[in-house]
Structure 1
Amino acid sequence: MQTATTAYPARPITPAALKELRERDDAGRPAAPFTDTEGGAPLRCCLRRSEPGERIALVSYAPLRRWASRTGATPGAYDEQGPVFIHAEDCPGPDGGGLPFTNAHRTVRRYSADGRILGGRLVEGNEGGAGDEGDPAAFEAAITEAFDDPAVALVHVRAVEYGCFLYEVRRDQP
């Protein structure tokens, strides 16, 4: 998997949130793990694609709601939840600190510190590329551009075709 080296690395779903999601997702449903026979599912726990034979789960996740609960933000109508793939059991997390899933068109949504959407940008990936290869530099530029606006506290990178959350990038990286 190709990733961009970046000042603003992708953040996977936190281990604490993953533990909760593996029991009950953000829609209140119990997780239903299954064996991925084909592979290729974008895993939000380790920010890579699944391999055939891995045990994964498709769960409902509300990333802005979880961020807001830690920061005191009130996202109101911008509080979305949607499907994400995660490993069914604990995993070691991402291998690196880059920007994954650059192989397709993505949206970079900008959010303020109070949880309101400030806009977004389409980033064109290399949809004909193999695996996760694309143009990581285009993603780095879009995220840098987002954080050039001092009102932007975090961004979500989402799939264009389904709107699914892929990962979060924060201004206040650890």
Structure 2
Amino acid sequence: MTTTRTTTTPAAPSVLTVHAIDPAVHRALLVRDDSGRAPVRSVDGTGGAPLRCCLTRARPGERIALLSYAPLRRWAAETGAEPGPYDETGPVFVHDGPCAGPAGRGWPEGFHGGRRLVRLYDRRGHILGGELAEPDTAEAVAARLLADPQVAVAHVRAVDFGCFMHEVRRG
């Protein structure tokens, strides 16, 4: 059963590893996305699109691509998990061209602007639950939830559209 709780009380962050879309996967997605379609390319006229390839926000005038991405499927291929019906595909923005990825593996500064859902998965790739978090507590919430040994990986999602933002694992 999936449970969702709201929290505003941060816990002390532990060492987390934040994963953006891998540069090799990003290149492949620019040809065909995880739904088998070509990406929708555009220019972000005002800037601000959350880019999942580098965990930054697009600058005004930057070329971006909107495409379908299946984060749990990618994690399952790496770990041997079998998520079955929990395998979701959804829209994400990326650079429309080469991207070196994020500057580091820590929590992305300036990337999160709204409430987030930290969704938890077990080692099989099945949903364990989730917790709502405010932008200033999302990192601490993820750290606290990943301290549970049943949790194998967490996905941070935007509440307003439900979009995948990034993956979080233990450091």
TM-score range, shorter chain: 0.7 to 0.9
User: Would you identify which runs of 4 or more consecutive aligned residues in structure 1 move more than 3 Å?
Assistant: none
TM-superposed CA distance for 1:98, in Å, is 2.9
Count of aligned positions: 157
More strand by share: 2
- With 10-19 and 96-105 compared, the bigger mean Cα shift is at 96-105
Residue aligning to 1:143: 142
1:73 to 71, 81, 101: 81
What whole-Å deviation, never above 9, does each CA across 1:11-60 have from its counterpart, x for those lacking one? Answer: 11011210110100011001232221111000000101000111110000
TM-score under structure 2 length normalisation: 0.86
Residue aligning to 1:162: 161
**For 2:142 and 2:100, how far apart are their aligned partners in 1?**
26
TM-superposed CA distance for 1:146, in Å, is 1.1
Residue aligning to 1:102: 112
**For 1:93 and 1:6, how far apart are their aligned partners in 2?**
23
Residue aligning to 1:32: 40
1:114 to 109, 124, 129: 124
Q: Give secondary structure in 2 for the equivalent of 1:102.
A: coil
Contact 1:6/1:98 (<8 A) preserved: no
Q: Give secondary structure in 1 for the equivalent of 2:144.
A: helix
Kindly, what percent of the aligned residue pairs are identical? 55
Unaligned runs of at least 5 residues, structure 2: 1-12
**For 2:77 and 2:115, how far apart are their aligned partners in 1?**
30
